[in-house]
Amino acid sequence: MKQSTGLEAETKDLLTKNMNDEEEDTFCYKLIEEGVYDVNKLKRIIEYASTNKNIDKEALKWIINCVDRCYIYHKDEHDYYTIKNYSIEEENMWEGVWKERLLQALNE
């Protein structure tokens, strides 16, 4: 049986922790609770999901849905939620590149 390296275990924990939006210092916590889109944390998730086959796919689906919902809420004039550091460039990167890489990882 192949044992996980420390980095693999740490990163799997990272994916799983993002499902709990009360877990501070995760991408989803910052996005949901603080309204901050932390590109570096997102890129860390994308890199791991794109380069490893043994990932928590349910957690990854949850993260994708989380980002999509936050963009919807941000644009809804009747919703009080906003992404404080919103930029159209980052949203375009999400829709055109980053989300696609995560979806590819789900299908591998």
pLDDT value at 79 more than 60: yes
Which tops the pLDDT comparison, 102 or 16? 102
Cβ atoms within 10 Å, residue 105: 20
What pLDDT is recorded for position 2? 37
Question: Token pair for residue 10?
Answer: 């740490």
Percentages of the chain per state (helix, strand, coil), in multiples of 5: 65, 0, 35
- Cβ-based neighbours of 44, under 8 Å, separated by 6 or more: 11, 14, 27
Which tops the pLDDT comparison, 96 or 108? 96
- Tracing tokens 């949901």 back to the chain, one arrives at 32
Write the pLDDT tens digit of every residue in 1-53.
334 444 555 555 778 888 876 788 899 999 999 999 999 999 999 998 888 87
Domain ranges, ordered by start, for the chain: 6-106
